[in-house]
Amino acid sequence: MATTNFRLRPPTMDDAQAVCDLVAACDTEDLGAPDIVLDDVLDMWSRFDLDRNVWVVEDDAASLIGYVFLEEDSEEKLFSCGCVLPSARGRGVGSALVEALEARAAALRSESGVAKRLQSMIPTLCEDAVRLMESRGFSPVRYFKRMSVRLDEAPPETPPLEGFSIETFTVDRDERAVYDAYVESFADHWDFASPPFEKWVEKTRLPSFDARWWWIARNREGEIAGFALGRMREDLLFIEQVGVRRPYRGRGLALALLRRAFEASYRAGQPLVSLGVDAANPSGAYRLYEKAGMTPDHEITIYEKRFEA
């Protein structure tokens, strides 16, 4: 295939739909189905520095053929994800995007004087992406599975759990308590970086946020013991996080929260529920989701490269 000229540039909000379509085309090629909607792009971009941390690639016809973003997760960890339109692969677009990421990581290291770890997420079975990352000095550090369940009939009602109640999140009341429970629950997860409360709470202020898809479990004293934080999309209910504080683990809370989510999704007319799970999570999350009837769809690999101070 002939090489096509292309250029990298920062996106504008007018590019959001084209980027969504581009990522959906890549998902279909690499994962079997789209895994993005426009609100996903808009929500991410609302918290990104579009001028310095996001790039699109356009060809001679001004069509978008590549995209990548970088998120400054913590003082030393940078997270990225990108893709190249299937018909434009093999033309150096992916290499140009990775070079942009590396240059930005190096600049952030120089500005801060702090070593950086640049991570990038790619489909495990996408061989061209694997070759590219390894050729640039990235190494695989973790594997995540996407799991889902299709509710072809009404799930059984979740039986009451002795000593606990499950309710939906209330805006302007539960933010701090859920944040504290989130930080505590995920503190022992791989590579967890606790976000500032002010940054974390921004997700509850997005236009797409709907408190009906955030469930919290309370003990008899009203303290939050666990949570399942979801987001209803047009194509599925995506469970972003399930967590149980350490003193309350082993009592069936996570499964009860998950089943409550299944019930609510089915009643809302959405039979598909999905989530991502660390394949090596020592808490047994993968087995929990299997017990709930979920099965793996595909696997994602996290690659990492260090930029020393």
Residues 167 and 293 in one domain: yes
Residues 222 and 193 in one domain: yes
Q: What is the percent of the chain with per-residue pLDDT over 90, rounded to a whole number? A: 91
Residues 263 and 124 in one domain: no
Indicate the number of domains in the chain. 2
Is 245 contained in some domain? yes
Quick check: 237 and 222 in contact, CB under 8 A?
A: no
Is 78 contained in some domain? yes
Residues 174 and 262 in one domain: yes
pLDDT for position 309: 81
Is 309 contained in some domain? no
Q: Rg of the Cα trace of the chain?
A: 20
pLDDT of residue 107 exceeding 60, the answer is yes
pLDDT for position 4: 62
Burial class (CB in 10 A: 0-12, 13-18, 19+), 32: exposed
Residues 45 and 106 in one domain: yes
d(CA 67, CA 282) in angstroms, rounded, equals 34
Is 159 contained in some domain? yes
Q: Which range has the worst mean pLDDT, 30-34, 52-56, 218-222, 277-281?
A: 277-281
Tell which of 112, 137, 162 closes a domain: 137
The residues facing 303 across adjacent strands are: 120, 140
Tell which of 111, 137, 163 closes a domain: 137
Range of the domain at 91: 6-137
Tell which of 103, 137, 171 closes a domain: 137
Nearest to 294 by CA among 264, 261, 267: 261
pLDDT of residue 223 exceeding 50, the answer is yes
Residues 80 and 115 in one domain: yes
Residues 201 and 232 in one domain: yes
pLDDT for position 44: 94
Is 81 contained in some domain? yes
Per-residue pLDDT of 19-77, as tens digits, reads 999 999 999 999 999 999 999 999 999 999 999 999 999 999 999 999 999 999 999 99
pLDDT for position 247: 96
Quick check: 248 and 226 in contact, CB under 8 A?
A: yes
pLDDT for position 1: 38
Amino acid at 43: D
Is 303 contained in some domain? no
Stretch 111-130: mean pLDDT? 96
> Helices 93-112 and 127-135, interaxial angle, to 10°?
40
Residues 99 and 241 in one domain: no
pLDDT for position 282: 67
Q: How many CB atoms lie under 10 A from the CB of residue 263?
A: 16
Quick check: 142 and 103 in contact, CB under 8 A?
A: no
d(CA 111, CA 107) in angstroms, rounded, equals 6
> What are the CA-CA distances from residue 223 to residues 47, 72, 227 (Å)?
30, 32, 11
Is 305 contained in some domain? no
Stretch 269-282: mean pLDDT? 91
Is 63 contained in some domain? yes
Residue 2 binned pLDDT confidence (cut-offs 50, 70, 90): very low
pLDDT of residue 3 exceeding 80, the answer is no
Per-residue pLDDT of 230-244, as tens digits, reads 999 999 999 999 999
Residue 301 binned pLDDT confidence (cut-offs 50, 70, 90): very high
Per-residue pLDDT of 152-174, as tens digits, reads 999 988 888 999 999 999 999 99
pLDDT for position 159: 86
Stretch 92-120: mean pLDDT? 97
Quote the pTM value: 0.91
Residues 211 and 169 in one domain: yes
Mean pLDDT of the chain: 95
Residues 155 and 249 in one domain: yes
Nearest to 122 by CA among 298, 289, 286: 298
Residues 99 and 235 in one domain: no
> Helices 38-45 and 16-31, interaxial angle, to 10°?
120
Residues 189 and 131 in one domain: no
What CATH number does the domain containing 265 carry?
3.40.630.30
Tell me the backbone φ, ψ of residue 33, rounded to 5 degrees: -165, 155
